[in-house]
Structure 1
Amino acid sequence: MKAVVQRVTEARVEVDGTTMGRCGPGLMILVCAMQGDTEDNADTLAARIAKLRIFRDEDGRMNRSILDSGGAALVVSQFTLAADTSRGNRPGFSAAAPPEDGERLYERFAEALRGQGIAVETGRFGAEMAVHLVNDGPVTIPIER
């Protein structure tokens, strides 16, 4: 699985003008299941992100995790993280998991984060979504399984 993790002061995702999910201070996580990914990959990625030390401590250093900071997460599916641009100007997405696997693993990832004790909201898998966020820092980190 692939993810792009952004530390945010706030984030929300809308479908057809309706807010589907939101979070205050915490993480905006774009996630993509890849061909061959399993539930173990989703669980491992969630555990890694839950422990990722990108929040400021009392000295202003990135030394705290979302678990330490008490933040929330907004998780949005984004198959375009699987983009392959090595053969021209039009990206290919064949490395992404098929939609039925992608949705199952996306939901598993969100549940695994909840299982870590993090408040999680989500977008709608496969929908056209508008994502709004205020990146804090900015801090943006790509992570693979």
Structure 2
Amino acid sequence: MKALIQKVTEASVTVGEDVTGRIGPGLLILLGISKSDQLQDCDWLTSKIANLRIFSVDQKNFDQSALDIRAPILLVSQFTLCAITRKGRRPDFTDAADPTEARIFYSHFINLLEGYGLTVETGKFQEYMQVSSVNDGPVTIILDSNDRLLPRQN
């Protein structure tokens, strides 16, 4: 499971003419769910996102988490984060989870974030969307749940 996290001053997602989610200062998260993902990936990633200190009081130090400041989250499902680009010029999306299974993980992910007391706005799963955002910093971080299996480096 991969999450591209952007600290934003504002973000929104539109499906057709309808705005399905909108936040002010907070986090825009693009979430890619792969075939090999399990519920533990959701647990690890949501904990990491909620507690990752990427906000600052003084605009110098990252000393506050989304949990600390109750930052709202705009969560958008993004299967293209699972692209395989090793060969050729066309991305291969065969590592992306089946939509039926991915929807279960996506809903679980939302429930876990809300369980932390965070407000979660969303796009529409498996729909063509327009995502608008104003990056703050800019701060953009990629989290991969497979990293939880790696040894810590000194």
Give your verdict on TM over 0.5: yes
Residue of structure 2 equivalent to 1:93: 93
Alignment partner, residue 46 of structure 2: 46
Task: Tell me which residue corresponds to 1:17.
Answer: 17
Q: Distance in 2 between matches of 1:74 and 1:8?
A: 10
TM-score (norm. length: structure 2): 0.91
In the TM superposition, what are the counterparts of 1:73-92 in structure 2 within 5 Å?
73-92=73-92
1:119 is aligned to 119
Q: How many residues align?
A: 145
Partners of 1:88 and 1:36 in 2: how far apart?
23
1:99 maps to a residue whose letter is: P
The aligned runs of 1:28-67 (5 Å cut-off) are 28-58=28-58, 60-67=60-67
| Separation in structure 1 between the aligned mates of residue 111 and residue 10 of structure 2, nearest angstrom | 21
For the aligned residues, what is the CA RMSD? 1.0
- Displacement after TM superposition at 1:37 (Å): 1.1
The one-letter amino acid paired with 2:9 is T
Kept after mapping to 2: 8 A contact 1:53/1:65: yes
Identity %: 46
Secondary structure class of the residue paired with 1:101: helix
1:14-55 deviation per Cα after TM superposition (whole angstroms, max 9, x unaligned): 000210011111100000111121222112111110001100
Shift of 1:71: 1.2
Provide the rounded CA distance (Å) in 2 between the counterparts of 1:33 and 1:124: 15
Q: CA deviation at 1:58?
A: 3.2
Question: Is the Cα contact below 8 Å between 2:73 and 2:121 reproduced in 1?
Answer: yes
Whether contact under 8 Å (1:32, 1:106) holds in the other structure is no
The answer to whether the Cα contact below 8 Å between 1:43 and 1:108 also exists between their aligned partners in 2 is: no
Gaps of at least 5 residues in structure 2 are 146-154
In structure 1, runs of 5+ residues without a counterpart are: none
Query: Aligned partner of 2:116: which letter?
Result: Q
Q: Distance in 2 between matches of 1:125 and 1:44?
A: 22
TM-score, length of structure 1 as denominator length: 0.96
- Quote the Cα distance in structure 2 between the aligned partners of 1:107 and 1:24: 22
> Any runs of at least 4 consecutive aligned residues in structure 1 with deviations exceeding 6 A, and if so which?
none
